[in-house]
Structure 1
Amino acid sequence: KSGRPELVNLRDGSSVGSVDVVFPVLHGTFGEDGTVQGLLKLAGVPFVGAGVLGSAVGMDKDVMKRLLREANLPTARFRVLHRGESRHISFQELAQELDTPLFIKPANLGSSVGIHKVASASQFRAAVEDAFRYDTKIIVEEFIPGREIECSILGNEEPIASLPGEIVPHHDFYSYEAKYLDEHGAELKIPAELPEPLVARVQELAVRTFKTLCCEGMARVDLFLTEDERLFVNELNTIPGFTRISMYPKLWEVSGVAYSELIDRLVQLALERHAREQKLKTSFEL
């Protein structure tokens, strides 16, 4: 009756209520890989964050890194291994190409699940076997020594960047254990202690990454900063942590955007995008 989409109980077909906008807070497979986003788009429901394409690209580290490389944005050197071909690739071959240590990562997963840092052939084989438990293709990536810098992005066609923050892991790297199981696993520096020219470089690279990967609404861009002040894009998260103590909203808070205002802006961006897309033609008419 209202013309707005409605949630329906699949068991009996009863209406649960109308929907103005959906704010996805689902991480990982199906939640931020474009699946839920495609369902919402098909249903005509406005939603916060990246669309189908941006979400899918943001989840797939292989595709993400190839697009970054195509756009001449700095990212770590890497190789992709598919299930079945990995037995023909040796640790020595990859170590010669990418140096050591190496990082082994499932191509489509988050929260550092299945990620290993390896420095020997035996570690490599065990890490590859574990990573293939989570995906049919994996990334073998060079190690970039340096600081872990994060930057929050907000916007659609004209995105803006927050002040950068820094993760200081107390483990060998920012692993799943450091993120979720050890309350002292890492220290967050908000904002990061960086000179203004370097802050500007981080923000520019983060915005360019956001645009290159077809993102909308929000994302957090994770970067490495080397001792000689080179920047490398590590990855982009289309649905970053959003609790009051998470890096994404905390970075906006120190940048002058309060938590409640941030949510309001994201909802407005979702509604604006939906309204714009509703005006587009999706079929040929004479």
Structure 2
Amino acid sequence: MTAIDVKSFGKVAVLMGGDSAERPVSLMSGEGVLKALLSQGVDAHAFDPSERGLHELKTEGFARCFIALHGRHGEDGSVQGALELLGIPYTGSGVMASAVAMDKVMTKRVWIAEGLPTPKFRRLRRGEHGREVTREVPDTLGLPLIVKPAREGSSFGVTKVPGYSGMHEAVAFAAQFDPDVLCEEFIEGDEVTCPVLGEGDAAVALPVIRIQAPDGKYDFEHKYHSDETQYHCPSGLPEAEEREIQRIVVEAYRLLGCRGWGRADLMIRASDRQPFLLEMNTSPGMTGHSLVPRSAQAAGMSYEQLCVHLLAGASLDNPPAKA
């Protein structure tokens, strides 16, 4: 790996916390990133946008930002747009890619238009959450099925619905997080995730991680607090299967216009080993249980090296013209 002059970064803000439902996870991610950057000699400082105005980044002389925010106002293009206006380079995807990837329905539409595999779905907007509408959804998607908020992360508001009678309650639960609810075909099989680093033609996939959660329930508790969930990296998948997943993930990442880094979640259908894209995370977790650091480590990159590498790639959608 090429040596990086961390002093050239200047004063760095690690954006963490925020006001989304994923605030606790973001604080864990941010603290890990901050510690890693400081250990490498970076002039890094914690910055919580829910407690301080973003304009202070400019007045306090911050030269770039590491975005460790998750969910609304951190991963959806909002903070990215503010940083564009401030002219402060930031890690991860730009405004449009962040906004599209945050919306699981819009993401699916892009992928479907380009022929990439993703489970069948139906979107229920505000006003379509009544029993008559929700009860007919399994007629087209089958059972069991997955119900989740269209714009949320960390498995908040997600329910696996085994029968018709559970639909209304599941939709009402998801709607607590977002008025747009995504009902999705359930794919029975292996759950995997695959990170990507870089941009455009230079984007590369890291090793695939196969996830085994107790009873197949990879929820918030099993993501961040349980030691029972098993993460296999190397994945143990056939080599050709892993390569195909990496190919699909990189294509999915490029189609959304992502840059810097991201992580795609997929299911591999047991019946025919067909992978299906579920979503793209443009500001993945960086906690002790997080998956991008695990995959990077399998590729020979330490947590600290990963943080510095991502920070080195901080950029703007529209950098100011040079005089």
Normalised TM-score (structure 1): 0.87
- Native 8 Å contact 1:6 1:16 kept in 2: no
Alpha-carbon shift at residue 264 of structure 1 (Å): 2.4
Does 2:308 correspond to 1:264? yes
Deviations for 1:174-203, whole angstroms, at most 9, x for unmatched residues? Answer: 11232235442x211122101221121111
- Are 1:150 and 2:220 counterparts? no
Identity %: 35
1:22 matches 2:65: yes
Go from structure 1 to structure 2 and tell me whether the alpha carbon gap of 1:178 and 1:18 turns closer, same or farther (over 3 Å shift). Answer: same
- CA–CA distance in structure 1, aligned partners of residues 124 and 317 of structure 2: 41
The answer for the alignment partner of 2:320 in structure 1 is 278
Superposed counterparts of 1:52-71, under 5 Å: 52-71=95-114
Are 1:147 and 1:224, in contact at CA under 8 Å, matched by a contact in 2?
yes
* Aligned pair partner of 1:237 in 260, 264, 281: 281
Which digits, 9 at most, give the CA deviation of each residue in 1:78-113, with x for residues without a partner? 00001112324142x322211100111110110111
1:121 and 1:41, CA in 2 relative to 1: closer, same or farther beyond 3 A? same
1:257 to partner: Cα distance: 2.2
Letter in 2 for 1:156: E
Match of 2:28 in 1: none
| Aligned match of 2:75 | 32
- Partner of residue 203 from structure 2, selected from 159, 167, 173: 159
- Within the alignment, does 1:75 sit opposite 2:131 as a pair? no
Q: Which residue of 2 aligns with 1:118?
A: 161
Q: Sort the Cα spacing of 1:215 and 1:197 in 2 relative to 1 into closer, same or farther, 3 A.
A: same
Q: 2:184 aligns with which of 133, 141, 160?
A: 141
Q: In structure 2, how many angstroms separate the alpha carbons of the residues matched to 1:98 and 1:124? A: 12
1:195 aligns with 2:219: no
Q: TM-score, normalised by structure 2?
A: 0.78
Asked if the contact 1:5–1:45 (Cα under 8 Å) also holds between the matched residues in 2, the reply is: no
Residues in 1 aligned to 2:212 and 2:247: alpha-carbon distance in whole angstroms: 22
The AA in structure 2 aligned to 1:169 is A
SS of structure 2 residue aligned to 1:89 = helix
Pick the aligned partner of 1:177 from 195, 200, 221: 221
The 8 Å contact of residues 95 and 317 in structure 2, kept in 1 or not, is answered as no
After superposition, what is the alpha-carbon deviation per residue over 1:132-165, rounded to whole angstroms, capped at 9, x for unaligned? 1111110010100010111110002221110111
Q: For the residues of structure 1 that align with 2:227 and 2:82, how far apart are their CA atoms?
A: 36
- Alpha-carbon distance in 2 for matches of 1:178, 1:29: 22
Task: Look up the SS of the partner of 1:111 in the other structure.
Answer: coil
C-alpha distance in 2 between matches for 1:263 and 1:111? 21
- Deviation of 1:37 (Å): 0.9
1:244: Cα distance to partner? 4.9
Q: Does 1:105 align with 2:160?
A: no
* 1:283 corresponding residue in structure 2: none
Q: Structure 1 residues 131 and 261 mapped into 2: Cα distance closer, same or farther (>3 Å)?
A: same
Relative to structure 1, is the Cα distance of residues 136 and 64 closer, same or farther in structure 2, using a 3 angstrom cutoff? same
- The Cα shift of 1:245 comes to 4.4
Question: Contact 1:6–1:15 at 8 Å: present in 2 too?
Answer: no
Unaligned runs of 5+ in 2: 1-9, 14-46
Shift in alpha-carbon separation, 1:197–1:261, aligned structure 2, 3 A: same
Q: Which amino acid aligns with 1:221?
A: A
User: Aligned pair 1:211/2:257, yes or no?
Assistant: no
Q: Classify 1:122/1:246 alpha carbon distance in 2 versus 1 (closer, same or farther; 3 Å).
A: same
Shift of 1:14: 11
